[in-house]
Amino acid sequence: MAPRYRLAETPVEPGGVRLRTLVAFTILALSFITAVLPADGQGNDVAEKAAGSNLIGKELVDFELADLTGEVLRYSDIDSAWKLIVLFSVHDCQVCLQEYRLWKKIDQSFTREQVTVVGISHDQDRKSVDQFAGLRGLNFPILLNPDDSVRKSLGLTDSPLRVLIGGSGKIVAVDKSDANIESQRTVLQNLRERTAGS
């Protein structure tokens, strides 16, 4: 039986390779890429979702950080039935940061006793964070965490991220940003259902 590939018999001409050789190597390269990528094609998203899943049911480690005015806020002092912690950087993907509309909408849709939104920026420059919040009309507390200790304590690497803490004080959801308007509406509706009666 003749071998499936006869690369050894394909001569290499001066100035380039023959088309057959190029096609064969392309097939081999694509086969390799298909083999190493996750089946759902999401790459790092799979690892990130897995890491977030491991946090469900755990409590957020208490922290104390300064906000944009210099006032220090301790996490355990937030008096709210539910808390939404937004981990972000002003240098994140600009499409991802369009989710600020959702953060703002949640902050406006609930009382602070029901849901408190807290942004945590791991940027080094307070001025750029202040400008980001001001231009978008974000009125919820934004804390500065230049050493990224909060995100690291959760074992997460992606950004932006939403961490939802329920009335029990335990993490109930960890989600990556979603700039799609319909998806944001769904997130808001789901939060309304979760917090009903709070």
Instruction: Provide mean pLDDT across the span 58-84.
Output: 95
User: pLDDT confidence of 43, banded at 50, 70, 90?
Assistant: very low
Q: How confident is the model at residue 53 (pLDDT cuts 50, 70, 90)?
A: confident
Predicted local confidence at residue 195, as pLDDT? 86
* pLDDT for residue 167: 85
Nearest CA among 80, 58, 87 for reference residue 148: 87
Cβ atoms of 87 and 120 closer than 8 Å: yes
pLDDT at res. 12: 46
Strands (E), the chain: 64-66, 72-74, 82-88, 115-121, 142-144, 161-165, 171-176
In the chain, the amino acid numbered 76 is S
- Distance (Å, rounded) from C-alpha 118 to C-alpha 139? 10
- How far, in Å, are 57, 97, 154, 165, 177 from residue 52 at the CA level? 11, 20, 8, 13, 13
pLDDT higher than threshold 50 for residue 154: yes
Q: What's the mean pLDDT when you consider all of the chain?
A: 82
